[in-house]
Amino acid sequence: MTAIDEPGAVADPSLDGPAVGVIVVAAGSGTRLGAGIPKAFVSLAGSTVLEHALAPVFRLRDAVQVVVVVPADRVGQAETIGRRAAGKAADHLRVVAGGDTRQSSVLAGLAALWPGVRTVLVHDAARALTPTGQFERVIEAAERTGWGIVPGLAVTDTIKRVDASDLVEQTVDRTALRAVQTPQAFPRDALVAAFRVAEDRLAAATDDAALYADAGHPVLTVGGSEAAFKITTPWDAQRAERLLADRERDREHEVGARTTTSIRTGIGIDVHAFADDGELSLAGLSWPGERPLAGHSDGDAVAHAIVDALLSAAGLGDIGSMFGTDDPRFAGASGEVFLRAAVERLHAAGFVVVNVAVQLVGNRPRFAPRRAEAEGVLSALVHGPVSVAATTTDALGFTGRGEGVTAIATALIERR
């Protein structure tokens, strides 16, 4: 039974808050970057370094307390930036003034943690492109082991140990080396105690894990990432800006790809010669008194062109591959049969028809008087608007000589 469960005990609301706190130190002056303002407030691709650094923290799945440490005269500005990055989670954010050294800034951050925080992460705002996954890896390892956790990368350069006059003494075994980054995670109480014990040596420590390890605690490395590099020089800043631009472009490509895969276009063409006997079937209508079109089926070039346009839009092949032009089951079959079957396949593949447009090329029949009738029949068959236009070829070619007709169709379909 916990203290809170005991009869009469009053719960301390501050203990109900997040168990993880993230201190983002951003109080440095950025001397090496040389922008004339503190590094965290320098603009990179339209947002400040600080805002870029906070964005991945507020993408974490589980809530954390976020403490931002900035130069004393920048607290107000940092609150505005922090609120923008935090959005609806602004109540999880605190901004405090830092000190002259990185370690004094970390101490100011530690002092601002809520009582319920058990695990604390210390992160450099200067590592502005650190992915959310790196925070998650560090938190998971810290909670699982109860140790200090630092993200690190294997060292790829060959490393030499040299003496005072730069003479090489030894090639260091680089398999045992890690270049470490932030965020670094620690059990909160043990880190506070380690800082207290090391008070007089704080300035000498190059990272928080060094102080923590000096106090006798185990520190484990987990995988870091190239993106978590520290922006120190103008070169680093332009590299970060370039990487942010690449990310933005990739994101736009993704959005574009999603749009184009849900809407698809297709094209179909069919040609039939006139025959001698029978009745013309065209565009889903019977045309008494007109010369029929020859074909294994009823020769409805308009219907067949639409079928091909629909199948091509859906990537389902064409009328020949789907129905087998020699298949005896389709001997004399009407265009309507093929259209119904193609639309069924289309629906089964998850598509609906947005619209179909057809152009009929030929001298006969005179199409205009029955255009609306044909469009009505075809639209009902494909479950979407079909428009049919007709033209002649000025007496040129086989259509101009009255030997047959051509139909060209385009179809637009959409994934449901």
Q: Which residues bind ligand CTP (CB under 6 A)?
A: 25-33, 39-40, 69, 98-102, 105, 124-126, 230, 232
| Binding positions for Mg ion, rule: CB under 5 A | 28
What's the min distance (Å) between Cβ of 231 and ligand CTP? 7
What secondary structure does DSSP assign to 361-416, as a single string? ESSSS--GGGHHHHHHHHHHHHTS-EEEEEE--TT-HHHHTTSEEEEEEEEEEEE-
* Under 8 Å between Cβ of 200 and 183: no
What's the min distance (Å) between Cβ of 108 and ligand CTP? 9
360: β partners:
390, 407
232 binds, among Mg ion, ligand CTP, none (CB under 5 to 8 A by kind): ligand CTP
What's the min distance (Å) between Cβ of 212 and Mg ion? 20
Give the C-alpha separation, 67 to 5, whole Å: 30
Give the C-alpha separation, 145 to 111, whole Å: 24
Q: Which of helix, strand or coil describes residue 82?
A: helix
What's the min distance (Å) between Cβ of 70 and ligand CTP? 8
* Under 8 Å between Cβ of 145 and 187: no
Give the residue ranges of DSSP H helices in 97-184: 102-111, 132-145
* Angle, CA of 355, 358 and 362, to the nearest 5°: 170
409 binds, among ligand CTP, Mg ion, none (CB under 5 to 8 A by kind): none
Contacts of 92 (CB under 8 A, 6+ apart): 18, 63, 64, 65, 66, 86
98 binds, among ligand CTP, Mg ion, none (CB under 5 to 8 A by kind): ligand CTP
What's the min distance (Å) between Cβ of 53 and ligand CTP? 8
When the beta carbons of 135 and 287 are compared against ligand CTP, the nearer one is 135
125 binds, among Mg ion, ligand CTP, none (CB under 5 to 8 A by kind): ligand CTP
Which two tokens mark 366? 């005179």
30 binds, among ligand CTP, Mg ion, none (CB under 5 to 8 A by kind): ligand CTP
Tell me the one-letter amino acid at 385: P
Give the residue ranges of DSSP H helices in 46-176: 49-54, 75-86, 102-111, 132-145
29 binds, among Mg ion, ligand CTP, none (CB under 5 to 8 A by kind): ligand CTP
296 binds, among ligand CTP, Mg ion, none (CB under 5 to 8 A by kind): none
What's the min distance (Å) between Cβ of 257 and Mg ion? 42
When the beta carbons of 107 and 408 are compared against Mg ion, the nearer one is 107
When the beta carbons of 105 and 297 are compared against ligand CTP, the nearer one is 105
When the beta carbons of 67 and 413 are compared against ligand CTP, the nearer one is 67
What secondary structure does DSSP assign to 284-329, as a single string? TEEETTSPPBPSSS---HHHHHHHHHHHHHHT---HHHHH-TT-GG
Which two tokens mark 85? 């990055």
When the beta carbons of 71 and 362 are compared against ligand CTP, the nearer one is 71
What's the min distance (Å) between Cβ of 50 and ligand CTP? 9
What's the min distance (Å) between Cβ of 27 and Mg ion? 10
When the beta carbons of 102 and 272 are compared against ligand CTP, the nearer one is 102
When the beta carbons of 24 and 86 are compared against Mg ion, the nearer one is 24
When the beta carbons of 28 and 98 are compared against Mg ion, the nearer one is 28
146 binds, among Mg ion, ligand CTP, none (CB under 5 to 8 A by kind): none
When the beta carbons of 126 and 314 are compared against ligand CTP, the nearer one is 126
**E-assigned strand segments in 143-284:** 148-154, 159-162, 168-172, 178-180, 184-187, 219-223, 263-273, 280-282
What's the min distance (Å) between Cβ of 130 and Mg ion? 18
